[in-house]
Structure 1
Amino acid sequence: MSGTRLVLVDGSGFIFRAFHALPPMTREDGTPVNAVFGFCNMLTRLLKEHTGTHLAVIFDAGRTTFRNAIDPRYKAQRPEPPEELIPQFALVRDATRAFSVPAIELDGFEADDLIASYAAAMQAAGGEVVIVSSDKDLMQLLGAGVSMLDPIKSIPIGPDEVMAKFGVTPAQMIDAQALMGDSVDNVPGVAGIGPKGAAQLIGEYGTLEAILAAAASGAMKPSKRRDALVAHAEDARISRQLVALRTDVPLPLPIEDLVLAAHDDAALHDFLDAQGFKSIKARLGLDGLARRHDERAAPAAPVAARGVEAGFGPYETIDTPAALARWVAAIRAAGLVAIDTETTDLNARRTRLVGISLATAPGVAAYIPLGHELGEQLPRGAVVEALAPVLGDRAILKIFHNAKFDLHVLAGAGLADAAPIDDTMLISYALEAGAHGHGMDELSALHLDHKPIAYDEVTGTGRNRISFSAVPIERATAYAAEDADVTLRLWQMLRPRLREAKALALYEMLERRLVPVLLDMERAGIMVDRDDLVAMSAEFARRMDEIQRDIEQMVGHAFNLGSPKQLGEILFDEMKLPGGKRTKTGAWGTDAAVLDELAEVGHELPVRILEWRQLQKLKSTYADALVTEIDIEDRRVHTNFAQAIAATGRLSSNDPNLQNIPIRTREGARIRRAFIAAPGHALISADYSQIELRLLAHVADIPALKASFINGEDIHARTASEVFGVPMEGMDAATRRRAKAINFGIIYGISAFGLARQLGIENGEAKRYIDAYFARYPEIRRYMNETREFARTHGYVATPFGRRCYVPGIADKNPARRSYAERQAINAPLQGGAADIIKRAMVRLPAAIAASGLTLRLLLQVHDELLFEAATDQAEPAAALVRGIMQEAAVLSVPLLVEAGIGGNWSDAH
C-alpha cells in the first residue's frame, strides 16, 4: 500500500479535550452539546489542514478491557464521566458518521490498541500512518512510517520530541512507563521513580529487565531507588503489561474501507442543524441548504409525533409485550424520556409502585400499570427487564420532576440504575427560587397555561379517598401519562433558560449532582436509641408536670396549659396584665410573641408557660414521634431532604424534621444524645464556623473583619474592642456577648428594639451600639443599602455563587411586609451563600471518600453542619478528610474554618 497515508484520530482524546475546553452548551431541547461542538470543530479543521488517503476516528468501547484481567485495579479509581458528558458520547459518534468518517471501536480493547493494530498493519503494508493525538501512551508506536500530530498545537510529534520530553526513544517508552507508573490509570510503577529517574536507569542499563536484574543482584549501587526497584519489581512487570499496546487486535474494518470520502452535504447539514451549530454550517458552506425530510430515517414512534402545541392526550396504556417493546425502541430513537411513577404513599421508603408513565415528545405519552387491583397488566418482572437497559443507558437522558422520589421508588422496584438525569423541579428552582412554588401543577399552570388532572379528581378526598392502586386503569392512564407529558414539556421550556439566566452552572454543578448524594443519605439514615427516647419522653413529662404545678401555684387553681383560651383569661382577665389583644374570634392572643413581651417586662408566669410549651413541643416532635419513625429492619430514622423549598437554597428536612433541634439548649443536647453510632462506628460532626459572618466580610468587602478572620482572631472580641473601645485582653464575657449579638443580629437586620430585648438593655443604649457598629464598619451599611436597592430594581438578590433568591414582597405597599422582605434580601446572599458552599462540599465528598478507602458515609445535613458515620478506628483520618473537603469547597477572600468533633452520639460529636 505504498503511497497510502492513514490518519487515525484518537476520538476519546478529542471528546475530553473539547468538553473541558468549552463552557456548557445545550441545544434547543436541553441536551448538552459542548463536547460535540468542539469535536466537530476539531474534525473540520483536521479535514481541511491534514488530509490523508484514508481516515478513521477510533473510540474506547467501554471501561472494561483485557487489562482488567491482568490487574483488577487498572483504571478502577477513575471517576465516572460528568453526567452532562455522557449523552454526548453517542452524539460524537453520530457526528463522525455525519462527516462520512468511519467511527471504530471494539469491546474488550482500548482505542489505543486499535490504533496500534491499524498502525502495525499499515507498516507491514508499506504505508504511512499519522496518529492525531498527544497522548504519551501512543508514543511507543512512533518509528518508521508512524508519526503523531498534536491536535491542539497542530505540530508533529516524532522521536526527537519524545527524547526531549522523556529522555528515551519511542521504543523505550514502554519500559519508561513501566517504571514511572500512572496514578490516573492505577498503573503502579515503582514508587519514587519519575520521568527523569526512568530515563537515567534506561540510559544506563537499557531495558526494564536489565534494570531489575541489576537491582536484585547487587550490581546497582545501594540507594533508596535500588530498594524500591527490588520491592516493586513485580509491580513494574505488571505495569509493563498494562502499558504495552496490543498490535494484533482484529481490525473491525479493513483498511480498504477507510478511504477518505467526501461528506454528504445534506446529511451533514441535517446533523449540524439538529445540534444548532450554525457557525460550523456557515464555515462549511452548508447554511443555505434546507433540512431534508427523509421519512425512512424517522424513528418509529408509538403514536404520531406531535409538536409543542400538541394536545394533552389521549394517551396509551402499555399492557402488551409488543407495546412495551415499541416504546423501548421509541425511547432509544428519541435519546430521552420523561418518567413519572405512581405509588401508594408519598413516603418513598414506605410506598409501593403502582405504575410508570413515559413520554418521548409533547403529547406522546403512555402509562404502564403494574400494581392496580383490576385490569390487564404486564408482569412486573418483564417490565423491569425491558426498562432496566434503557434507564441504565448513559446515552439516554431520563427526565423527572422531583427525581429523588422517583429514583427511590424505581430502585425499590428493581430499577436502581438511572443516569443521566434531569429534574424539572430543580431546573425551576435554580431559575427562580423564592419567586413561586416548584410543584408540577403550579409550573404547568405558570409556563404551559395548562391545569393538569388533580390527584383528588382520580382518588377522591377525605373518607372517600381510595388508593391509587384502586383507580381504574383507563382513568389512571389519563392522569399519570399527563404527568410525564407535562414534565417533558416543562423540560423543553425551562432547560434552555438556564443558560440565559446564568443558572446553568448552579444547576449542573450543584443541584443536579446533589440528587444522588441525598439519595444515599436518606437510604443510610441515622441510628437512634429507642430506650433513650422513651426515657427522654418520661423525663420531659416529669419536668412538664413540675412546671405545671408551679404555674398552678402561681395562679391559685388548676387549668389546661394547652388551652390558649384559658391561658388568655388567666393572663388578662384574672391577672389583669397589660398589653392584651383579642384575636378575630374574640379570644385573647397568647402566641409566643405575646408571651415574650410579657416575659421581657418581668412577669414570671409567661416565662414558665414558654418553658412548658417548649418541652411539650420537643416531647411530641422528637421524644415521642421518633420512636414511631424507627425502621424496624435497620433501627434507623430516615428523613427526607427537600431541595426546592427555601428561597436561599437551604435544604429542608421532613418526615421527620431533624433540622429544628435546638442548638444551644440542654434539651437540644439531650435529644442529640439519642442519635447514636452503629456498633464499631463513631459519629463525626463537621460544622462551618461563623460562615455567614465570613461571607459578610467577603461580599461587603470589610477590611477589618477580613483581617480578623485571616489572622484567626476572636471575631466577637475584635468587634467589641473596636465598637466599644475596650481592650481585647481581659475582656469580660458580657461585653463579648453584646458584640456577638450585634455581629449575628446585623445579618438578620436586627433593630434597636430587638437588640435591646435580646440583651436586656434600654432601646437607647441598643441604638448607640448599632450606630457605633455601623460607624466602625461603614461597608456593612453600604452593602445593606445597595442590596435593598438591587432587590427593589430586579426583584431578587444573588449569592456569591450566582444563585438568584427572589424576594416577592420587596415592593409591598404594607411597610411591615416590605421591611420584612428587605431583611430577607439582606440576609439571602449570606444564608444562600452558606447553603451553596455546603452543597459544593457535599457533591465533592463521595469521590473523595471513595478514593480514600475509608469506611465513612454522610448521614445528615443541618444547615452549616454535616454529620457522618465512620469506622471507629478511622474516625480521626475521616474527620481530617471531611475538614479538608469542606474548607476547600469555595475560595473566598477570607478562609473557611470547619470544626469537627467525634463521639458515640450526636451530642458528644457536636
Structure 2
Amino acid sequence: SDKDLMQLVSETVTLYDSMKDREIGPDVVREKFGVTPDKVVEVQALAGDSVDNIPGVPGIGVKTGALLINEYGSLEELLARAGEIKQPKRRQNLIEFAGQARLSHRLVVLDRHVPVETGLEQFAVRKPDPEKLIGFLKALEFNSLTSRIARELGVNTSPVKALEVETDGWTKPEPAGSGDEDKRESTDIAAIPVDPDAYETVTRQDDLSRWIDEAFAAGVVSVDTETDSLDAMKARLVGISLATAPGRACYIPLQHRASDGLALDGPAIEQIPIDDALEKLKPLLEAPGVLKIAQNMKYDHHIFRRNGIDVGPFDDTMLLSYALDSGLGGHGMDELSKRHLHHAPIPFKQIAGTGKSAKTFDLVPVPDATRYAGEDADVTLRLWHVLKPRLAREQRASVYETLERPLVTVLAQMEAEGILVDRAGLARLSGDFALAAEALEKKAHELAGEKFNPGSPKQLGEVLFGKMGLDGGRKTATGAWSTDSKVLEDLARNGVELAQTV
C-alpha cells in the first residue's frame, strides 16, 4: 500500500492493501503515523521522504513529527510557535528549515480536484480480454509477466500480436537484432502451457517408429533416461522419454515391474522389450544430423554407453545455464524451470513416495511415469530454446562450446574407465601449490594493506569495494559485495593488481 494515499482515508474512504489483503481505515493510519488521516500530510512534511525527494526538517522523523502535530495541531501553528520548543537543536531546525517544511507540505498534498471524465462503473473489476492484455504486455516487453498471465488464462501467445501503444515523450529504440527475436521466441515458448496429461505412452513398436521419424524430421530431440538408481555405473535403464517440440513428448517404458518381487500372478505391464527398443533408438541417438538435448547429459551418457549407444551430438541445458548464469543459483531442472519457465515440475517424491514408502522408478505405475518423464523431456527442450540463443548474444559460446560441453564425454570416460593416480606425484604438487598459494595470499595482504581471507567472497568484496572504493561493484541479494569470476576478471582487465593476484 502507498503511504502517500493514506491522507485520503476517512470514515467513508478505505485504502486496500493488496500485499497483505486488508483494508486500511482511520485506525490503521493512526497506528502508522500517530495522527488522524487528515493530519498525515503535516507529519510527512516534517519527516520528509528521501525516496520521493521530500526534504522535510532535519532530525525529525515520523514519531517526533506526530508528537509535535498532536501538541500544536497543525504545521503552520508549529512553525509559528517554533521558539517555544524546549530542545535547542529541534527548535533551531524548525526555525531554520521552516520554508523547507512548507515546500514539503505542498509536495505531499494530493490534488483532490482533478476532473474525472470516466464514470465510476468503468472502474469495476472485469475479466480481462486475453488477446488485448497479452498484446499490451507484449508491446511493453513485459516478458515474464506475459508468460505468467498467458498460463493463468490458458492462452497461446504465439498468434497474439503486440498492440500499438502510444507514448508521450519516449520513442522506442530500434531492435538490436536477432537477440530481440530470441527473447520474444523464448517468451512464447515459456507461455505454452505444460500439460503432463497430454504426453503419450509408447508401448508398440510402430508408435516408437513414428516418434523416431518425427525426431529425425525435427532435427532436434530432447532425451531423458529413467533408471532405478542415481549411481550411473549401477543403474538399470527403466524407460526413455523424448520431446520433439514444446508440449509434444512421450515416454517409452522398458523395464517397469508390477511389484518388488516375483509377482508371478500379477498383471503384465505392456512395454516394448528393451533390446528391441534400443535397437530402433540407436540410429537416432547416434545420428550426426539430429541434436540431442539433455539435462545433465553425463548421467544419460553413462546409461546409454552401458547399453551400447554412443549418444551424440548433444547440448546440455544444465551446462548451458552454468555457462550463462553460473552465480545466479542452482542449475537443476526444477530450479531452471521455475526461473525461466515459471513452472514447477512434478516432484519425484510425488510419484515415488518418501521414507519407508519410497519406491524405485521401475515400480512407479506407467501412467504416472509417463507424466513425470514426459514433463522432464518437455521442460528440458523448452529450457534449451530459452538458453541456447543467449550464448552468442552474451558472448558465452566459447566457454560452452570449447570447455563445458566437450568435458561431458571426457569426464564420463574417466569415470567409466577410472584413472591411475600417482599419489607421490600428487603429494609433491600439493606442496608446490600450497607454497604458491601462500605467496599469493601474502602478496594480496600487502596490496590490500591488511590481512584478510582471499577465499572469503565477503571479505574480498569489503576490501575491493569498501576499503579501496573501486568502481564496478554490485551487491547481491544478501547485501554483500559480489566477487564472482566476471567481476574479478573485469577488475583484472582494468589493471587492478589485487584482482589479478586473486
The normalised TM-score by structure 2 is: 0.51
Tell me what 1:447 maps to: 340
CA pair 378-435 structure 1, distance change in 2 beyond 3 A: same
Tell me the secondary structure at the aligned position of residue 395 of structure 1. coil
Q: Does 1:384 align with 2:254?
A: no
Question: Could you say if the C-alpha distance between residues 428 and 746 of structure 1 is closer, same or farther in structure 2, counting changes exceeding 3 Å?
Answer: farther
Contact 2:243 2:381 in 1 (8 A): yes
Matched, 1:791 2:473: yes
Deviation at 1:791, TM superposition (A): 3.4
- Is the counterpart of residue 318 in structure 1 residue 202 in structure 2? yes
- 1:822–1:488 CA distance, 2 compared to 1 (3 A): closer
Determine whether 1:467 maps to 2:467: no
Shift of 1:414: 2.0
Contact 2:223/2:292 (CA < 8 Å) preserved in 1? yes
Q: 2:443 aligns with which of 722, 739, 743?
A: 743
C-alpha distance 432-407 of structure 1, shift in aligned 2 (>3 A)? same
Distance in 1 (CA, whole Å) between partners of 2:449 and 2:415 is 36
Matched, 1:425 2:125: no
Contact kept, 8 Å, 1:342 with 1:355, in 2: the verdict is: yes
Paired residues for 1:250-649 under 5 Å: 309-313=192-196, 314-374=198-258, 375-415=269-309, 417-526=310-419
For 1:386, the aligned partner's letter is: K
| CA distance in structure 2 between the partners assigned to 1:320 and 1:825 by the alignment | 50
Q: Separation in 1 of the partners of 2:202 and 2:273?
A: 12
Query: 1:452-499: CA deviations, max 9, x gaps?
Result: 100000000011101111000011000001000000000011111112
Cα distance change on mapping 1:744 and 1:347 into 2, 3 Å: farther
- Give the counterpart letter for 1:752 in structure 2: K
**Aligned-pair CA distance for 1:829:** 3.9
Kept after mapping to 2: 8 A contact 1:341/1:406: yes
Q: 1:449 to 1:397 in 2, by over 3 A?
A: same
Q: Deviations over 1:534-561 (max 9, x none)?
A: xxxxxxxxxxxxxxxxxxxxxxxxxxxx
Rate the CA distance shift 1:686–1:427 in 2: closer, same or farther, 3 A: farther
Q: Deviations over 1:554-574 (max 9, x none)?
A: xxxxxxxxxxxxxxxxxxxxx
Q: Is the 8 A contact 2:225 2:300 kept in 1?
A: yes
Q: How far apart in 1 are the matches of 2:257 and 2:323?
A: 39
How far the C-alpha of 1:509 sits from its partner, in A, is 1.4
Please name the residue that 1:294 is paired with: none
Amino acid at match of 1:408: H
Task: Give, in whole Å, the separation in 2 of the partners of 1:447 and 1:526.
Answer: 38
**Deviation of 1:404 (Å):** 0.5
Unaligned runs of 5+ in 1: 1-277, 280-305, 529-668, 674-682, 693-713, 717-736, 756-780, 796-807, 834-910
- What SS is found at the alignment partner of 1:791? coil
* Other structure's SS at 2:473 match: helix
Q: CA deviation at 1:324?
A: 0.6
What amino acid maps onto 1:309 in structure 2? Answer: I
The two structures, once aligned, show a CA RMSD in angstroms of: 4.0
Counterparts in 2 of 1:867-906, with a 5 A limit? none
Counterpart residue type for residue 312 of structure 1: D
The one-letter amino acid paired with 1:460 is G
2: CA distance, partners of 1:458 / 1:352: 18
Q: Displacement, 1:789?
A: 3.4
Q: Which residue of 2 aligns with 1:752?
A: 451
Provide Cα deviations, 1:683-710, integer angstroms capped at 9, x if missing partner. 7899699999xxxxxxxxxxxxxxxxxx
Contact 2:190 2:340 in 1 (8 A): no
Q: Could you tell me whether the CA contact under 8 Å between 2:190 and 2:382 is conserved in 1?
A: no
- How far did 1:349 drift? 0.8
Separation of aligned partners in 2, 1:323 and 1:482: 19
Deviations 1:52-74 (A, max 9, x none): xxxxxxxxxxxxxxxxxxxxxxx
Structure 1 residues 421 and 788 mapped into 2: Cα distance closer, same or farther (>3 Å)?
farther
Partner secondary structure for residue 330 of structure 2: coil
Q: How far did residue 307 of structure 1 move?
A: 9.6
Whole-Å separation in 1 of the counterparts to 2:339 and 2:273: 38
Superposed counterparts of 1:694-773, under 5 Å: 741-743=441-443, 751-752=450-451
* Higher-Rg member (1/2): 1
> Secondary structure of 1:452's match?
coil
Partner deviation per Cα, 1:585-612 (whole Å, 9 max, x = no partner): xxxxxxxxxxxxxxxxxxxxxxxxxxxx
Change (3 A) 1:505 1:826: closer
What one-letter code is carried by the residue in structure 2 that aligns with 1:364? R
Contact 2:215 2:244 in 1 (8 A): yes
Change (3 A) 1:782 1:401: closer
Residue 382 to residue 823, structure 1, CA distance change in 2 (3 Å): closer
Aligned counterpart, 1:241? none
Give the SS at the match of 2:442: helix
Secondary structure of the corresponding residue to residue 332 of structure 1: helix
**Residue correspondence of structure 1 range 209-248 to structure 2 within 5 A:** none
Question: Residues 448 and 307 from structure 1, CA distance in 2 versus in 1: closer, same or farther, beyond 3 angstroms?
Answer: closer
1:368 positional shift: 0.6
Structure 2 counterpart of 1:489, one-letter code: R
Whether contact under 8 Å (2:327, 2:484) holds in the other structure is: no
Against the structure 1 CA distance between its residues 824 and 432, is the aligned structure 2 distance closer, same or farther, given a 3 Å change threshold?
A: closer
Task: Look up the match of 1:184.
Answer: none
TM-score by length of 1: 0.29
For 1:652, the equivalent position in structure 2 comes to none
| Per-residue deviation, 1:783 | 9.8
Change (3 A) 1:516 1:788: farther
Query: 1 CA distance for matches of 2:303 and 2:387?
Result: 25
- Cα contact 2:257–2:363 (8 A) shared by 1: yes
Q: Distance in 1 between the 2:319 and 2:363 partners?
A: 31
Seen in structure 2, the aligned counterparts of structure 1 residues 752 and 404 have a Cα distance that, compared at 3 Å, is: same
| CA–CA separation in structure 2 for the residues paired with 1:750 and 1:472 | 64
Equivalent pairs counted in the alignment come to: 289
Structure 1 counterpart SS, 2:243: strand
Q: Which amino acid is 1:311 matched to?
A: V
Instruction: Please say if residues 334 and 360 of structure 1, whose CA atoms lie closer than 8 Å, have aligned partners that are also in contact.
Output: yes
Q: Distance in 1 between matches of 2:402 and 2:317?
A: 15
Q: CA deviation at 1:752?
A: 3.0
Deviations 1:319-372 (A, max 9, x none): 001101101100110011000111111111121111100000011100011110
Partners of 2:276 and 2:210 in 1: CA distance: 14
